[in-house]
Structure 1
Amino acid sequence: MNTANSKQLEVLLRAVPEAAVIGTLAREIGQLTLDSRQAGPGSLFVALRGTQTDGHRYIQTAVELGARTILCEELPALTRPDVTYVQVLDSARALGLLASAFYDHPSHHLKLVGVTGTNGKTSTATLLFQLFRGLGYRCGLLSTVQNQIEDEVIPTTHTTPDAVTLNQLLAEMRQRGCTHVFMEVSSHAVVQQRITGLTFAGGIFTNISHDHLDFHKTFDHYIAAKKGFFDQLPPQAFALANIDDRRGSVMVQNTRARVETYSLQTMATFRGKMLSETFQGMHMQINNQEVWFRLIGRFNAYNLLGVYGAAILLGEAPEEVLTELSGLGSPPGRFELVPATGLVGIVDYAHTPDALLNVLETIVHLREGNEQIITVVGCGGNRDAEKRPRMAAIACRHSDRVVLTSDNPRHEDPQLILDQMLQGVPPLDFKKVTVLPDRREAIARALELAEPHDIILIAGKGHETYQEIKGVKYDFDDREVLREAFEHRERFLKKDQSH
């Protein structure tokens, strides 16, 4: 989908005034690309330094395929007289500015709201998208689960797309009449300048805990990345922070945007209180208004407060917002109940210690008697290994039985990941732990361990419909596998009873 006409290089480069140009500016640019294999006549190839490879190595490939404009930080050893080289200090930053200009600055014409934090980004962005559609607006969504323009779902591979794809999507959303767009903003996207050049109407901070240290190396760098989003917000935007998180006020301390807050514990612009909850929903008070919501758990109470606050800051009427919010359910794979006879099945994306703790504490709170909580959980490969023992320790502390299994091992040895998780199991809890690397077998074992009315949590993958092992993606959906396991159990029980 190309929603932009070609642009003159001279005009485009007004967005990057610090660029040094070698060669003619009289070039027509019909495409921006980061992938040399997609270069061709009319392409501007951007040489990015990434975590896996350096785009500068592929400048020659792009030229051979027909690209006659190259943006780079370092000029190649041999330059060609028929090629224009645009040299900048930071290719990623320049790309963000160029991509926005190439697609006619789509974010300037949209109410774009970014959501950042460790947990709750997807739920908050998706609830905002559903809420504003319910209020009658045409909307776009950019999330981990999916990108969406009204009813059309566009598959996604990253929490935040690269700058070209992002601006292309925003331009398409604008062209199709969207007025509001809600997007997750990952810490990677901030550091890698994917959101540079975008104009946000507001930003929401959910919470922060240890995650992505494989990329950021230290927790301080991770915090700084999240804070970088709020530092970029313009004065006319709002910065809405969860101040119950101890770093909530830090996130917005240097922002030029208007700072507003939400809380379940203290005075804030948007104040909430949980009155009661069951597996069917919860009764809350928000700014002195009592409402019943279909969502479950304290973590969702925070998500609802953030969504409510953002809607009010975007000019919506409180009564209409609460009425519409009360009818919304959870996004796919977020505390998703899987129906079964005599058991409670829950699939949740919890893949960080904090998220797993939130979900398990909610289940413990909702448990009415002595039902067992049986947790199936693993940890992803090629990701922050520090959280693996902590995940197992949390599962043991709040569950009666635990089945440790594979998540997405990616290129790592699944058994090595499980061994690292086992290091977090307290000696007295070893008797409650089963280790099964095969995730399907692990889910089946959880059902074998279950007695009537027990609660089974399948944590870690949520909405994902694949499992990645040794770099290969296989079809695997926790919800489908759990449903099949429930059906098998019911058939077995009926057969047993008939005898």
Structure 2
Amino acid sequence: MITLKQVLDILKQDNNFRSINSQENYSWNWKENPTFSKLSYDSRQTDSQTLFFAKGQQFKKAFLTQAVQNGLTFYISEIDYGVDIPVILVNCVKQAMSLVAMAFYDNPQEKLKLLAFTGTKGKTTAAYFAYSILSQEFPTAMLSTMNTTLDGKTFFKSTLSTPESLDLMRMMAEAVQNGMTHLVMEVSSQAYLVKRVYGLIFDVGVFLNISPDHIGPIEHPTFEDYFYHKRQLLANSRAVVINSQMMHFELIKEQVENQDYDFYGANSDNQIINSQAFSFELRGKLTGSYDCQLLGEFNQENALAAGLACLRLRASQAAIQTGIAKAHVPGRMEVLTQTNGAKVFVDYAHNQDSLTKLIQVVKAYQKGKIILILGAPGNKGESRRADFAQVINDYSDLIVILTADDPNFEDPLAICQEIAKPITRAVDMIIDREEAIKQALSLTTGEEDAVIIAGKGADAFQIVKGERMAYAGDLALAKKYR
């Protein structure tokens, strides 16, 4: 529950309030202080008890008109749409929604220890490591690209890496109600760009890495803008954990010099000193030996980052070792063996850096022919297409099959042709992803061979024309045709 006066006080304190406008034919006693028992940004889910937020570039007056017919009495907006109810005009509706949601849900962020991960790649893997570690000793919730749990028992598929602020506060409140004391979450650059986490302060923020990605018409206009919004997690965290090997580390190091911090990686106090296939040794604050189910030193680095962050949240060394050993991440470096002995690697790698590292790991273990299945999403991250071509050119011995990967409103064949254009050798194009996987697996002949299925990980859908269409999933199809 929240009153109009409380809402106005919040907006004024944030210097976000402009005015309340009311149409002349709407009778309302300005001395009243109405109470709202619901918040919503979906006009289809409104009634007389709802405070509504009119947000988004695609928002139309018709949506608001329908909400008024449903009984809506107030809305918050940057625009006066001229309907017969009062509008609370603000400079930024996204800021307003975040702060009002915090108050409406009784500030659940203050009742949880909050651990957040950002980075171009590795957020989900690191979040799963941290969740596994903290769950050894604390009731822990998690919000990730892959799955969300608010009670540590029930998991459901996420729709956004970082939920809209109103949904985020509602889920935090539910986690508190379920007895959770800690929350692990991913914070994307988009979350700061569109203010999904406005006003939140994290107990620990982790910056894993940075490389060009998410640059395009509907995402970040430039790498500088992308990097700036990534760094906002550090500015809004009480303590930070940072990869000392990342691009532009010196700039980040200067930014956090007055904060509590841990660096990890080469030339830092916390680093991997012996990396094996399923184990590694650390020196520094987490000195010791660790088992790990995920192949690749980059995954071990994610485990190290998660371990350092959890140490700041009072996790014990034993919990860190056990949590890392038990952690399993759906769709991240999942390995199957075909009946002929060849290996199949299913991984979410979806940008230049993560794809390069995935190929390097596979080539370290598989010395025969390697078949790569790859696509690129439509209407986002368009720079990836040229990046993928560069990776394919760098590894001239790969057999490459280009296929569909969430084409959305674009033609998947056109996307594949755009990837193929800069490639200096012939590649196959099989747009049906299931057929591409079937064909790739049929090309292997023995235990030295491998198939890499990159991009979708554990996603059991294809995004087509704005809708999630049923798709068996890369892992399920690999099992079907192995």
Question: Does the alignment reach a TM-score above 0.5?
Answer: yes
Deviations 1:451-498 (Å, cap 9, x if unpaired)? Answer: 201111100000100122344412230001111111xxxxxxxxxxxx
CA shift in 2, pair 1:251/1:55, >3 Å = farther
What CA deviation, in whole Å up to 9, does each residue of 1:4-26 have, x standing for no partner?
xx222212333222324434551
Q: Choose from 420, 425, 431 the match for 1:437.
A: 431
RMSD between aligned alpha carbons? 2.0
Q: Note if contact 1:160-1:186 (Cα within 8 Å) is conserved in structure 2.
A: yes
Query: What letter matches 2:11 in structure 1?
Result: V
Equivalent-residue separation in structure 1 for 2:336 and 2:292 (angstroms): 19
Mapping 1:13-162, distance limit 5 Å: 13-17=8-12, 18=15, 19-22=17-20, 23=30, 26-50=33-57, 53-54=58-59, 58-76=63-81, 78=82, 80=84, 83-134=85-136, 136-149=137-150, 150-162=152-164
One-letter amino acid matched to 1:451: T
SS in 2 for 1:201: strand
What is the Cα deviation at residue 395 of structure 1?
Answer: 3.4
Describe the SS at the equivalent of 1:387.
helix
- 1:371 aligned to 2:368? yes
Code of the aligned partner of 2:233 = F
Partner deviation per Cα, 1:83-105 (whole Å, 9 max, x = no partner): 34222111111111001110001
Deviation at 1:55, TM superposition (A): 5.7
Name the count of aligned residue pairs. 461
The answer as to 2:223 corresponding to 1:226 is no
Q: Percent same amino acid among aligned pairs?
A: 28
Matching residue of 1:324: 322
- Structure 1 gaps, min length 5: 1-5, 487-499
Specify the code of the residue in structure 1 equivalent to 2:328.
S
What whole-Å deviation, never above 9, does each CA across 1:259-293 have from its counterpart, x for those lacking one?
4233331124x3222x2423xx1323242423332
TM alignment of 1:344-359, pairs within 5 A: 344-359=343-358
Going from structure 1 to structure 2, the CA distance change for 1:289 and 1:413 (only over 3 Å counts) comes to same
Q: CA–CA distance in 1 between the matches of 2:328 and 2:417? A: 33
Contact (CA 8 Å) 1:93, 1:193: kept in 2 or not?
yes
Secondary structure of the corresponding residue to residue 66 of structure 1: coil
For 1:297-356, what per-residue CA distance to the aligned partner results, in whole angstroms no more than 9, with x for missing partners? Answer: 121021011111101111223x31443134223310000112333111110001111110
Q: RCO higher in 1 or 2 (8 Å CA, sep ≥ 6)?
A: 2
Using structure 1 for the length normalisation, give the TM-score. 0.88
Answer yes or no: is the 8 Å Cα contact 1:13–1:98 preserved in 2: no
* Equivalent position of 1:163 in the other structure: 165
How far apart, CA to CA, are the structure 2 residues paired with 1:435 and 1:192?
Answer: 36
In structure 1, how many angstroms separate the alpha carbons of the residues matched to 2:430 and 2:234? Answer: 43
Structure 1 residue ranges (4+ consecutive) displaced by more than 4 angstroms after TM superposition: none
Structure 1 counterpart of 2:6: 11
What TM-score do you get using the length of structure 2 for normalisation? 0.91
Query: 1:25–1:337: structure 2 CA closer, same or farther, 3 Å change rule?
Result: farther
Aligned residue type for 1:128: A
Corresponding residue for residue 172 of structure 1: 174
| Residue matched to 1:397 | 394
d(CA) in 2 for partners of 1:475, 1:95:
35
Shift of residue 396 of structure 1? 4.7
Corresponding residue number in structure 2 for 1:492: none
Q: What is the letter of the counterpart of residue 349 of structure 1?
A: Y
C-alpha contact 2:244 2:265 (8 A) present in aligned 1: no
Say whether the 8 Å CA contact 2:241–2:308 is kept in structure 1.
yes
The answer as to whether partners of 1:276 and 1:284 remain within 8 angstroms in 2 is: yes
Which secondary structure does the structure 2 equivalent of 1:131 belong to?
helix
Q: Is the 8 A contact 1:284 1:293 kept in 2?
A: no
Please report how far the alpha carbon of residue 57 of structure 1 lies from its aligned counterpart in structure 2 after TM superposition. 6.2
Equivalent residue, structure 2, for 1:409:
407
